[in-house]
Amino acid sequence: INKTITSLQTRSEQAVASMENSQAGMVKSVDQAKLAGESITEIARSVTSISETTNQIASATDQQTTVTQDLTY
């Protein structure tokens, strides 16, 4: 009986250690997911900024074209 109890205790300790390792891995995964989400948000902001700049350039180009046409005619 003593050997059985010792064996059960050892296996229980191993199971607890395994669960703790799994929990640590999950915490790390959650942290990495948060960082990925923050990176995606920053990328979206950058894309918006680039889009706005592109629109400004297009508008300025249109204005220059209009002025050039007015000077030509």
**Measured distance CA(62)–CA(69) in Å, rounded:** 11
Would you say residue 69 has pLDDT above 80?
A: yes
Would you say residue 70 has pLDDT above 90?
A: no
pLDDT of residue 73: 76
Q: What is the per-residue pLDDT across 7-64, written as a single tens digit (0 to 9) for each?
A: 999 999 999 999 999 999 999 999 999 999 999 999 999 999 999 999 999 999 999 9
**Measured distance CA(54)–CA(57) in Å, rounded:** 5
pLDDT of residue 15: 97
pLDDT of residue 71: 87
Q: Could you write out the three-class secondary structure of 2-58?
A: HHHHHHHHHHHHHHHHHHHHHHHHHHHHHHHHHHHHHHHHHHHHHHHHHHHHHHHHH
Three-state DSSP at 1 gives coil
